Structure 1
């Protein structure tokens, strides 16, 4: 297998199969229903806001900033694996053909997000600007070209610098992209000058990487981190056998442990609280679902829709945390300690009840400006308690 095109084809086929294997667990029926409610409620809120939006609203700058940041984040998808830094060395002269395939896939897999953002913003642009439909659709094409240039720029920058100071590179490209989109919306083809700047930047990077060895270590680590992020997300919906969790001490939460009295009966409570706080998968799962519920509650003023969404978030939080905390397969010291078997179940239930209260309070505070916000914590706590009692 000395043809890099066939190497990419086999890697890509395996990658798509791996993604689809877990995506069928993520987008299940109940998730689809929640998404329909969210999209419908969001669309209704958006249309109602457009009726009262001020004519001097800075729509062009707002769209340029959001889309520009999204466009600048163009992490390459290379599908490289750890053995490649040894077994692909004899084929290093052909690697640019492989990387061109990788950049093509990176572009097509990422361009949809900024293009959709621009399309969603079309009603706002028509409401507060005098842009023609032709000018707006030209901007959509402009954003796609801008994304392609950013994909090329980030790849060659990483190739040339082994990923060092990539955040500075993204910041510079984000500023250029924001100005390019704003100029495109405000002055038509004036934004094309920024495309020339990016093209010249890419040209200098290409010359810099000429005849340089491929930074396999950097691209492999980048690919491993990208796939691990996908596996962690998929693990919220189904079990991912080869997922490696990470642990981090959060010193600012040490006070939580002090609230647990030092006695034999609290052995499991201390262990469960410590596991939740220090395990990234558990902690960030709660943070993400709480943040989603809070954002939706803050911006959607249709009580029925808000109740459905926050109830779904409370259900998902309780169910997934209960499963992960109760069914951990690793050896624990409490297995050798003479404490009753049901104390872990009691400790997990105590933690989940406290987390549901904290989650409900945070979401309620974010929804203070919405009608009947006081019912949100009731819905979340009740759903969490029912889930806790009825789930195995």
Structure 2
């Protein structure tokens, strides 16, 4: 069973690296470095304006630690067919889960240490904790993460205990009490509570060997985890594992009726309805637009909001280009007596409409967040130039390369 997990992990990592190479291309890495640098500068400048003794500092610390504690999910890499083919080896699933825990917990601990490192300057400025107290809080966080993985493993067995199956108590409430004790009372008190919780759950975990493994629940949880991973990759590239579902969306008929059903609008008619009813592309467009608006609301400065808006506008346009070939697998589209130039013209109109809408929403968010008309006008000019260059020059270049 250990060899089986190692083989699956090797295949899984190869698949993840394949998608990561597509996600972190040269353009995105460059934009990401600028974005991280801007956030780091904003974080540094914000710390300079803070002082010790702020009443809201400690609530922010334990809330951030509690949220970070939820990062790092249990990767069992189970597949749908395992309920049949691995059922005779159910007694050996403990060894399989041990390998899964070693891999998953290693990543989870790295997440905790990374975000704890980012939070340290804020703690030092607002609370001035000694180094020993910070080390004890970090150790408490790691112990709580270990306890969380014990709970995760327990829930993959057919338990009758309600308090173990209820995610709210052991994922949120108990860690909240431990972190509050660490920050408000004594770091040692929180460490003792976290250690007791970890040991107690380890003991309970060691006693479930005779309990049947819940195959359907474990496989459903793993499929749900991989669905989240694929959806992230789908923000940057096409993922074959995600199957889109068309939805009617009658409430947008008034918008689609603006496209007249005339011969020269054949592809515009098809593309407009496709983008509205496609769960894959419409969801991607909405997620990136909403995420960009949220970040623009919280990011302030002279040039950082402009760079961030330009980055998200580029990502949205880049991700929408593959929609041009969305209907190529339908044989009837190849029978249309319509020139390729008309098809390109229709897709350009669609891209202009979607990117212009996003650009306007970004400008509105900048106006609300900064109340700076000069910055808003600058962003408007930058976005107008970017939309024009992307649709008129970059889009035809990509289409010719694909052809």
Tell me the C-alpha RMSD between the 2 structures: 3.0
Answer yes or no: is the 8 Å Cα contact 1:268–1:334 preserved in 2: no
What is the CA distance between 1:295 and its match in structure 2? 3.6
Residue number in structure 2 paired with 1:378: 381
Residue number in structure 2 paired with 1:230: 229
Answer yes or no: is the 8 Å Cα contact 1:41–1:300 preserved in 2: no
2 CA distance for matches of 1:332 and 1:354? Answer: 27
Residue number in structure 1 paired with 2:50: 53
Gaps of 5+ in 2: none
1:27 and 2:3 are equivalent in the alignment: no
What is the CA distance between 1:135 and its match in structure 2? 0.8
Deviations 1:321-346 (A, max 9, x none): 02223455431654455555444333
**1:213-224 pair list within 5 angstroms:** 213-224=212-223
Residue number in structure 2 paired with 1:182: 180
**1:323-342 pair list within 5 angstroms:** 323-326=322-325, 328-331=327-330, 334-336=333-335, 339-342=338-341
1:136 and 2:134 are equivalent in the alignment: yes
Deviations 1:55-87 (A, max 9, x none): 424122112223213323553211112222222
The verdict on how the C-alpha distance between 1:353 and 1:179 changes in structure 2, with shifts beyond 3 A counting, is farther
Choose between structure 1 and 2 for higher RCO, CA contacts under 8 A separated by at least 6 residues: 1
1 CA distance for matches of 2:294 and 2:100? Answer: 35
The verdict on how the C-alpha distance between 1:252 and 1:196 changes in structure 2, with shifts beyond 3 A counting, is farther
Residue number in structure 2 paired with 1:155: 153
Residue number in structure 2 paired with 1:8: 5
Which of 39, 48, 64 aligns to 1:42? It is 39
The verdict on how the C-alpha distance between 1:332 and 1:266 changes in structure 2, with shifts beyond 3 A counting, is farther
Gaps of 5+ in 1: none
Residue number in structure 2 paired with 1:67: 65
1:274 and 2:273 are equivalent in the alignment: yes
1 CA distance for matches of 2:49 and 2:276? Answer: 44
What is the CA distance between 1:262 and its match in structure 2? 4.5
**Alignment TM-score, normalising by the size of structure 1:** 0.86
2 CA distance for matches of 1:325 and 1:239? Answer: 13
Deviations 1:246-273 (A, max 9, x none): 4445454444223333445444333212
Deviations 1:337-370 (A, max 9, x none): 5555444333322222121122112222222233
Residue number in structure 2 paired with 1:196: 196
Identify the range of structure 1 (69-78 vs 135-144) with the bigger mean alpha-carbon deviation.
69-78
1 CA distance for matches of 2:135 and 2:254? Answer: 55
The verdict on how the C-alpha distance between 1:253 and 1:16 changes in structure 2, with shifts beyond 3 A counting, is same
1 CA distance for matches of 2:363 and 2:252? Answer: 23
Answer yes or no: is the 8 Å Cα contact 2:363–2:379 preserved in 1: yes
